[in-house]
Chain A
Amino acid sequence: MKFILIYDGSFEGLLSAVFYFYEHKLDDASIVKKENSQPSFFYVDEEIITDYGKAKRVWKGLSKKVSVRGREKIYKAFLSEIPTIENAILHFIKRTFSSEVSIENDYSDPIILEIDKVSKKVDREKHRMDAFVRFRLTNDGIYFATIEPDFNVLPLNTEHFKKRYADQKWLIYDLKRKYGIFYNLQKAALIELEISAEVNSTTRALTYFTVDEMHFQKLWGIYFKNSNIPIRKNMRLHIKHIPKRYWKYLPEKKF
């Protein structure tokens, strides 16, 4: 009999589902986010209640056999939000617990390799956000940026920005997922609030942002234009490095 374990979409929820899998000695199951689940006649649906204690136990169990990097890979793969990634993670965990030695580098297993590749993609997107976030100084003295990353990487970016901008207030807001990370000079925390894309409209800019802000964006545009060597123009390479979907957040691509 095949089970469908439905969880709430949180990482702890996913680990709780893994706990359930072992607790009930299931042998065939797939794990699905609630928002992606569809009722079915052939399988048994089981709604998982997120339990931090159980999630922690699974994570602890993994720590004994999987390196920090290996565990990061699992978390990053999860953040990819790819609809079937939960089953790849379950496979990774099943192989880990059934093996004496760590299997995290067994790239001859296509699913282990898949986890590795997906986590690299998430890493790349995280790195892109480190690079492409553009702060604008608001009238309230907060450096503010909006993003819409392909994967849910904002939790991975927090440490980077906290270390770097320790002496300025900042807010990075994910327009797609409707939450942000706000740093208030003491700590960085996740905040849920409604900000509409209207904040990015150029006509309303001065309502939210300082006068100097416009000058610095312009200066950055000038710098960008003048550091280019026209005879070496290579738009294919340019677009490979900055795919067009990111352009709307980059002031240098607006002038």
Chain B
Amino acid sequence: MEYFLIFGNTPNFAMDFNRIKEKLRILADAAKYDVSCSSSGSKRENKNNGLGNSSGMGICHSYTEDGRCVSLLKILLTNHCIFDCAYCVTRKSNDIKRAAFKVQEVVDLTINFYRRNYIEGLFLSSGIFKNADYTMERLIAVAKKLREEENFNGYIHLKSIPGASDELMREAGLYADRLSVNIEIPTEKGLKLLAPDKNRKDFIKPMEKVKNEIIQYKNEKSLLKKVPLYAPAGQSTQMIVGTSGESDAEIMYTSAYFYKSFNLKRVYYSGYVPISHDNRLPAIGTPVPFIRENRLYQTDWLLRIYGFDVRELLNAEHPNLESDIDPKLSWALRNLDQFPVDINKADMRMLLRVPGLGVKSVHKIIAARKYRKLNWENLKLIGASLNRAKYFITCDSRIFEGKDRTAAQLKGLIMNGCESKFRKELNTQLNLFENPSFQSA
């Protein structure tokens, strides 16, 4: 075909498109339960006029019909797997079509999608074939080829295969922007039940190695001028929610532990989508726990960005999050002695704790109050959700909500005053509990 000669950027061999289409169908489908699709936080700039740049913010190039961001080409290298984890579609005992990409095929797909501005890069995971190291080597081979042969500076997220050797993890970080191991099951006893072949230790080992390499990279970077980048976008992990009877406290304490011990950038929470008739798991047809997933993410944000400690939000007295209100409001209602807060005087830490004020509003308030004392009108224009915030703040106005209400009264007032996006789900949930035939299920 003539245009290959004219244009050097197209692959120098013809792809077997029909075969690739079939593989892509299978291996995209198998990768979709991994929720991470972040492409931000890297520092890799375009060099030598090559292809790509991942130094900016992440970009969602599309959104699936379930509303999730599509930023990366997220596929498995293969869905052949020697493990039999109950919660996983790719488990050995599952009767599904299997396929495997060749290294070059993944490289070509990535480059051609990237050049058309479909994606920010590649997120490559894999079923485990032969053994951990053999699998990890193949993932690294793809990343290495992209970086060295294609001069590709887009984003690469590789899965760390549980049990992979330290040498391979070191190498992986030289080509990847982000590495992740999914711990999947929040508690050790749950893991034993659902993934008897797997061991907590095997997840932790590569995570530990990557953490230490990142620390070493940062140390060397402060001393030396030229140190090769090592996993500049850090590490992340994922937990499945609703498989093993774990409480919200168990999930978030595990999460807080991993954030702290391994300097993780993100922990993702994935409401379990029933995919199996295995009686250890919720049956097919069980609703995905959307509200719970959302409340866990809100809690995660409170820990990472709003300066909360996990023990303030979840503890022995409150092992689970309230589903009808968000966790910040829930905390505020338990700590009414700390309110009301004067919007014109309070420090940033306390402003961030006011229900209805987000990070952006807080920054705007702090900037604007230097010019004059702010009143209700100012706060409304700035974008604070006053329907919640008004019960917890005072400002430059004589009118404010009386503070002699109980937590239960406040909760009732606030819930009447705003429309939850989960109203429908919350109602059906209540109906479920009222219906005795469901209670025994």
Contact = CB atoms under 8 A, between A and B. Distances in A.
A134 B116 CA distance: 6
A106 B378 CA distance: 11
Interface in A236-252: 236-238, 240-242, 250, 252
Nearest to B112: A216
A241 B31 contact: no
Nearest to A246: B62
Interface residues of A, number: 57
A127 B3 CA distance: 33
8 contacts: A137-B10, A165-B115, A168-B9, A212-B10, A216-B112, A230-B65, A240-B67, A241-B67
A235 B65 contact: yes
A224 B51 contact: no
Interface string B346-377: 00000000000000000010011011101000
Nearest to B367: A105
B50 A167 contact: yes
Nearest to B66: A232
Contact of A131 (B60, B109, B368): B60
A106 B151 CA distance: 46
A107 B117 contact: no
A25 interface: no
B6 A220 contact: no
A223 interface: yes
Nearest to B67: A237
Contacts of B371: 103, 105-106, 108-109
Nearest to A229: B66
A219 B51 contact: no
Given A106-B371, A232-B66, 14 more contacts: A108-B372, A108-B374, A132-B61, A167-B49, A167-B51, A212-B10, A212-B15, A216-B113, A220-B113, A224-B62, A229-B32, A234-B65, A237-B67, A238-B66
Nearest to A218: B21
B17 A219 contact: yes
A3 interface: no
Contact of B115 (A168, A230, A233): A168
B381 A107 contact: yes
B288 A219 contact: no
B31 A227 contact: yes
B414 interface: no
Contacts of A113: 381-382
Nearest to B71: A131
Contacts of A220: 113, 116, 118
A84 interface: no
Contacts of A98: none
A237 B68 CA distance: 9
Contacts of B3: 139, 141, 210
Given A131-B60, A220-B118, A227-B28, A238 B9 contact: no
B49 A228 contact: no
B74 A227 contact: yes
A206 interface: no
Interface string B1-13: 1010011011000
Nearest to B365: A107
B64 A228 contact: yes
A25 to B, nearest CB: 27
Contacts of B370: 105
Contact of A163 (B46, B115, B374): B46
Nearest to A127: B59
Contacts of B17: 215, 218-219
Contacts of B52: 164
B438 interface: no
A143 to B, nearest CB: 6
A231 B374 CA distance: 46
Contacts of A230: 65-66
B94 to A, nearest CB: 17
Nearest to B20: A219
Most-contacted residue by chain B among A127, A215, A226, A231 (CB, 10 A): A226
Most-contacted residue by chain B among A130, A168, A212 (CB, 10 A): A212
B344 to A, nearest CB: 11
User: Which 10 pairs between the two chains have the least Cβ-Cβ distance?
Assistant: A237-B67, A141-B7, A232-B66, A105-B367, A107-B368, A241-B63, A226-B28, A228-B64, A166-B49, A234-B67
A232 B117 CA distance: 26
B24 interface: yes
Nearest to B74: A227
A204 interface: no
Interface string B50-82: 111100100111111111111001110000000
A127 to B, nearest CB: 7
Contacts of A210: 3, 10
Contacts of A108: 368, 371-372, 374, 378
Contact of A107 (B10, B64, B382): B382
Interface in A95-141: 103, 105-110, 113, 127, 130-137, 139, 141
Contacts of B70: 224, 227
B221 interface: no
Most-contacted residue by chain B among A109, A131, A165, A218 (CB, 10 A): A131
Given A107-B368, A108-B374, A141-B6, A228 B21 contact: no
Contacts of A168: 9, 51, 115
Most-contacted residue by chain B among A113, A215, A232, A236 (CB, 10 A): A232
B33 interface: yes
A134 B52 CA distance: 15
Contacts of A224: 62, 64, 70
Contact of B24 (A132, A164, A222): A222
Nearest to B31: A227
B29 interface: yes
A130 B117 CA distance: 8
